[in-house]
Amino acid sequence: MAVRIRLARLGAKKKPMYRIVAADSQAPRDGSFLEIVGTYDPHQNPALVQVDADALQKWLGRGAQPTDTVHSLLRSRGLLPAAAAQAAS
Identify the pLDDT of residue 78: 87
* One-letter amino acid of 6: R
Comparing CA positions, the residue from 10, 1, 20 lying closest to residue 67 is 20
What mean pLDDT comes out for the span 6-10?
Answer: 93
Domains in the chain (CATH in brackets) are 3-88 (3.30.1320.10)
Per-residue exposure over 44-58, b if at least 16 CB sit within 10 Å of its own CB, e if not: eeeeebebeeebbee
Identify the pLDDT of residue 22: 94
- Note the pLDDT tens digit of each residue in 35-85: 999 999 999 999 899 999 999 999 999 999 999 999 999 998 888 866 555
